[in-house]
Structure 1
Amino acid sequence: MRRDASSAKTALSLGAAVLQCCGDWAELMKLRLASLVTLGALVGAILGAGAWSELPRALEAAFWISCSAASGGALNQVLERESDRRMKRTAGRPLLTGRISVRNAILVAGVLGAAASFGLALHFNLLSAFMALGSLFCYVAIYTPLKRVSSLNTLVGALPGAMPVAIGYAALAGGINGWAVSLFAIVFAWQFPHFMAIAWIYREDYRRAGMIMVPVLEGGERAAGIQAFAYSLVLLPISLLPSVWGDAGAAYGVGALAAGLMYSAYSLRFTLVQNQCRARALFVVSLIYLPVLFAVIFIDQWISGGLGA
């Protein structure tokens, strides 16, 4: 009995250690953020393919693009170790606690980035591979260090943030047009209210870490609200571009307008009164907006018969 109890305890300890290890690597590669990357890349790839029969290839493209994003997430944490140490939100990250070594993080990030580039180049096309490499470079080499230099980091960071949808489209379509341009513009503008809410919620953390986010600047808390609302208004006409260009029908136009108005309403609430409750509400709505919009795209395509079997 004692031996059985000891074996069970050992198995439980081993299971807990495995789960901890998996959780650490997931945190290092920012897999929660990568889930939105995967979804956006998949949507772009399906629209680029133009047919549901290409879903397996679209899933593969989304996988490689997610690998590239995971590589960027890991390298970002390698470069920001000292900043993360000063922030309550990030002080427990695996690189800081020693659960993952810097060497291993760099090695895995390098493998993921290289695999993503070669996977896209060999199985799809060079355009998508170079786009993924450019996005990774912009995120790691430009956006990451810029966070300590200028509040323009949000603008720069929005570029690689919007790339996955365009890369997915390019991988299956072989070029950039129509939906790729629209989706890139939509995700680009969407990020600003999203980021302003996050930066406002964690403004004291960013201030301690020396990161120059808009809410950290003098008068920046108010400015963050104004920018969030301004970009939500910019997003409204941008989100209607697919209907204007004939890529989507009336169902998409109505759905996109409704989702955009909801996003703008919560951005306006945050603009009028900046507090934790309204910032978090805007953040939650921002997470809802993109999946809703993507769902509206496919509902419209189903109604119009835009995607073939």
Structure 2
Amino acid sequence: MQEDKTTIANSTSFGVASKVKDYFQLIKFTLSFMVVFSTVVSFLIAPNEDHYSRNKIISVLLLFVGGMLITGSANAINQVLEKKSDSLMKRTAKRPVASGRMSTTEASAFAIIAGALGVFILWYWFNSASALVGLFSLFLYGFIYTPLKKVNSIAVLVGAIPGALPCLIGWVAATGGFEIGGWVLFAIQFLWQFPHFWAIAWLAHQDYTTAGFKLLPSDKGPTKFTALQSIIYSALMIPVGLLPYFVGITDVGTRGIITMVVLLLCNLWMVYVSVLLFKRMDLGSAKKVMFSSYFYLMIVLLALFVGRA
């Protein structure tokens, strides 16, 4: 009898753990965390004395939760709409909806509840402007970018908008307005996405082609044209990366100058690895661009936080 109870308890525990794991995959937790990280840092960079006076810790926690709910909702919608496509690709076939472990009804219900709750948190605790931007980002990613991926590679350009809006959401949540500082942070993350995403699409080209996705700028796949585009967008990041100093996001003294030097070095590195990809045209160089982009965003955001005005 005791053994039966133990077996049932173990089975229940395994079932709960398995379901939690499925939801982590549904919301693409690592990706969502990275996105919301940029929201929180942008919030902390912005002149947000009003929310600091209310409760800085609670504000940051609620912004994080609200951001995770909205981003998780968008990713759930993505997986519902791409169920068949995901099942055709090795890297996505084991996702809960694609594999059949989670029904589209369950995933859709989660997306609706999570999205609505996330938008409500932004509206109630922060302001209506940040909530509307969050809702727009959710809609653009879930219902425009997702189906467009099978139509034309311009989907990457469209997808870069909701990918960069988290920075603007954080700024607007803090200030209540669409100021130049928020748009500069948006621009930095917007441009960053092109070499980042094209490196991923380069590495997963065969999978994406099998599923019918058109994500590289060239119809012929990984070509020098794609690598050249990565160089161009990486180069554009150089002047944009200097803007935080000139628009008052960073300190005008030593801290601000050091921050701008860090951003300049990071941007030059992205140009360098993109040039290597253009010269070598191999998977190793594409991986270098991809991993460099991950570190780039983390270093840049943290540098801006340390050097904020």
If the length of structure 1 is used for normalisation, what is the TM-score? 0.91
Retained in 2: the 8 A contact 1:189–1:234? yes
Retained in 1: the 8 A contact 2:245–2:260? yes
Other-structure match for 2:291: 284
1:20 maps to 2:18: yes
The Cα of 1:49 is off from its aligned counterpart by 4.3
1:269 maps to 2:276: yes
Retained in 2: the 8 A contact 1:46–1:55? no
Alignment partners' CA distance in 2, 1:150 and 1:202: 17
Other-structure match for 1:253: 260
Other-structure match for 1:38: 36
Alignment of 1:71-220 (within 5 A): 71-214=73-216, 217-218=219-220, 220=222
What one-letter code is carried by the residue in structure 2 that aligns with 1:132? G
Other-structure match for 1:69: 71
The Cα of 1:220 is off from its aligned counterpart by 4.4
1:47 maps to 2:69: no
If the length of structure 2 is used for normalisation, what is the TM-score? 0.91
Retained in 2: the 8 A contact 1:47–1:179? no
Q: Which runs of 5+ in 2 are unaligned?
A: 251-255
Distance 1:268 1:9, change over 3 A: farther
Matched residue count: 300
Q: Which runs of 5+ in 1 are unaligned?
A: none
- Name whichever of 107-116 and 269-278 sits farther off: 269-278
Alignment partners' CA distance in 2, 1:233 and 1:156: 20
Alignment partners' CA distance in 2, 1:88 and 1:210: 14
The Cα of 1:40 is off from its aligned counterpart by 0.5
1:300 maps to 2:307: yes
- CA deviations 1:68-95 (Å, max 9, x no partner) are 1110000001001111121111111111
What one-letter code is carried by the residue in structure 2 that aligns with 1:22? V
Alignment partners' CA distance in 2, 1:44 and 1:246: 14
RMSD: 1.8
- Name whichever of 90-99 and 124-133 sits farther off: 90-99
